[in-house]
Chains A and B, each alone.
Chain A
């Protein structure tokens, strides 16, 4: 039996910060309980309409045999980047005019602004290869401004290969998103670090934000979990099983090798988290026999204890906006719950009211916590573990995944508009894959096949 109190609630998770408050103020509850609901409809376009953007296929500017395949890579990457940005109403390819303008002089704006395309903005340009170089001229035009339509004009020249064709498309997409998305940089050039399961071992891997370019980072031949990339993208902290159990280890993305991290003190040390200035690492350590939250320097030195309460304390995460608060998971009242505190251990506040809550991730603007929650936890209980987003100030929450199996390890994108998480459709660990979505739960896309877990989105 489906428990689905469908309520139309306006939510604007994809809008810039100011609108979030309005969104939550607009949350209306018609049931007798003041609790949030298990299920409700979200309308990302409610109140404010997305910009209608036409993305033209680029015009081939050369007859080089390489051009066709690179152009196809570029076109599909650009289209995907803009489609998944969450701020556009993308004109369906079937509604676009047949023309492929390659330069400002070649475009007939009326053709694009009229029905059926009805575009407000048009991205177009030309792509050519010659002498092993890829040259892309990209334009963004305002279809309704016939006198001065040009919003953006970019030129790129790179080595002619598939990888660079994708990178150039990402860069151009990010320029458009930055220009039209309220000044928040796009995420098309960001990375996702994750755990790849294979042959009884787990290694740290990385991929582009859209699932392309999946490649191995560590080769330790053991179980390595919980990758967390530093705010400057220079290092990855993670925890790894050695002869003394799980310990925090550090990989340098600049040197492409392991670097020293010694948390000292013994016990199991796990779930590292970077402070937004990159100078501190919060983690869970059982050096006293009971897992507690500690903060150390980024090389593991001068570790100091933050929590002090019997029961597991684990999975800390700094407020990325201020660096002065920590959210974490504590089992001090039996089942794990979500808490926040100041970074000195004071002002402890419990945020979840029951169930089994794990894996917090703090949104870049500091306003929201995403986490995994099984609200009716217990043997045989209905429901499952889903991703939830809570507004820290009000403790109001919404459920953003529904009926797709077991979900865990949400991680915010740097633009705060997306979440990546691990999903197992049948609940088995071996089926776990990485999925991204808009922060309101729409636009879900599988980034990997089975055997990938614990994604961590880079800070920029």
Chain B
């Protein structure tokens, strides 16, 4: 059987809230693109609901949220919620979107974030190569 080429993973990146620290998310956007992935950067100052709506519309495999304001424990539950409401995760979802968060995240918050449904937590200083590997392993996108 002839194998058809596998479509590259599609990633939506965004910053929630008013936090302006966008250096990391832009480096990651570039690194993922250079690794052959399709990247949509929604920008900053968006709400969880706007991110979920865009993720649904863009048909992405991964949603990556950048937060360096310390508000991750408040905002990530809203993000999980919004993805469920838009049918991208949870019982009704047709294939789950991976949810990642990166930023200034103390060690003690990593496990609670996983418990609430975040698939990958990447504190500042994480190498982009590690994120590329994580996404390649996590997204097994079959060609149509």
A-B complex is real: no
Q: Which residues of B contact A (CB under 8 A)?
A: none
Q: Which residues of A contact B (CB under 8 A)?
A: none
